Amino acid sequence: MRARSRRPAPMRHVIAALAIVCGLAPAARAETLAADLSAHQITLAAGAAGAVTLFGTIDAPGDIVVVVRGPEADATVSRGPFGNFWLTAHRIVFAGVPDYYAVYASAPLDAIVPPAIQAQHQIGLANLGFQLQSVEQPPALVEESRAALIAERKRAGVYVDAVGKVQFVGDHLFRATLGLPADARAGAYFVEVLLLRDKVLVGGQTMSLTVATTVAKTKLVDSAGGGALPIAAFAAVAAIAAAGAALWLRRRRRGRRSPPAVAAPQRLARRAKRAKRR
């Protein structure tokens, strides 16, 4: 019989180690993106905008896309043949509607992100989708309502149509300033960071951002003054009216108690004339 050839024990260990390394290579390769925020909780003063810095690193050159959205809630849109007239309008209820939405990228979206990935990750207002909560409605009416809701929030400044800038420092470090409007609603926001190479999604990371708001003292004074001035004016008018009424009643009572002094001579004169006539 021919004896089987065996590899030395050290060689078997080397081969096993290489097999493990090769098996872990795809997992290690997936860790190509590391990002974080300068703060995961910020407080916005009343009437003041805010911002937080996103920074990160990648292991090889690529493109970065950032999507900021939140807080999410239900939204109702009224649409009908006669506008928003409540008797004829349809109520379309959407769930998962972000109060704020913005996109940042290191290059024009169409140049780095294929349409399929844009739709999948809801990159851009054209791909922003909502969950229909109301009863089944005609698709055309649902799409019209979705477009109307997006247009309304664009006018309000909480849906940003323009793509913000992600800046690279060299080939590996990137940063972006994520701005929040002055009327941003308090709640939980989410920041999704995507890494693409040659229009292929190769990595991603999602972070949470908590936004709180405070009420400035000037706002309290204004709101209190706005409510106090009408009340004070009404009280002043009521006091003047009450004083005038009291004065009028007092004069009338005095007039009833003491008749005018000229009344007696007039009566005597009338009696004298009557006596002469007789």
pLDDT the model gives residue 158: 93
- 158 dihedral zone (left: phi>0; alpha: psi -120 to 50; beta): alpha
Provide the CA 52 distance to its chain's centre, in angstroms.
16
In total, how many domains does the chain have?
2
Examine the domain organization and report whether 235 and 124 are in the same domain: no
- The pLDDT score that the predictor gives to residue 222 is 36
Comparing 81 with 156, the larger pLDDT belongs to 156
**Phi, psi at 122, each rounded to 5°:** 50, 55
Report which DSSP code applies to 176: E
Distance of CA 51 to the CA centre of its chain: 14
**DSSP states of 205-236:** EEEEEEEEE---HHHHHHHHHHHHHHHHHHHH
Beta-bridge partner residues of 97: 73
What is d(CA 75, CA 150) in angstroms, rounded to the nearest whole number?
Answer: 11
95 versus 90: the higher-pLDDT residue is 95
Query: Is beta strand 131-132 parallel, antiparallel or unpaired with respect to 173-180?
Result: unpaired
Nearest Cα residue to 34 out of 209, 208, 203, 210: 203
Taking a C-beta distance cutoff of 8 angstroms, is the pair 175, 166 a contact?
A: yes
65: domain CATH number is: 2.60.40.10
Whether 165 is covered by a domain: the verdict is yes
Task: Check whether residue 179 and residue 223 sit in a common domain.
Answer: no
Same domain, 184 and 246: no
The Cα 119–Cα 128 span in angstroms is 8
pLDDT digits (tens, 9 = 90+) for 129-167: 888 887 777 888 888 889 999 999 999 999 999 999 999
- How confident is the model over 169-215, as pLDDT tens digits? 988 999 999 999 888 889 999 999 999 999 999 999 999 999 998 86
In a domain, 246, yes or no: yes
**Same structural domain for residues 159 and 270?**
no
Show which of 214, 234, 263 is a domain's final residue. 214
Q: Which amino acid is at 269?
A: A
Chain mean position to CA 7? 67
Q: Domain residues for 182?
A: 33-214
Q: Which of 176-190, 231-245, 251-265 has the highest mean pLDDT?
A: 176-190
Q: Which residues of 154-164 are buried (b: 16+ CB within 10 A; e: fewer)?
A: eeeebbbeebe
pTM to 2 decimals? Answer: 0.64
Query: Are residues 71 and 157 part of one domain?
Result: yes
Q: Are residues 139 and 99 in the same domain?
A: yes
Verify that 177 and 60 share a domain, yes or no. yes
Give the pLDDT band of residue 101 (cuts 50, 70, 90): very high
Does 157 map to a domain? yes
Q: Are residues 210 and 91 in the same domain?
A: yes
SS3 71: strand
Q: Is 160 helix (H, G, I), strand (E, B) or coil?
A: coil
Question: Do 55 and 190 reside in the same domain of the chain?
Answer: yes
- Strands 90-105, 164-165: pairing is parallel
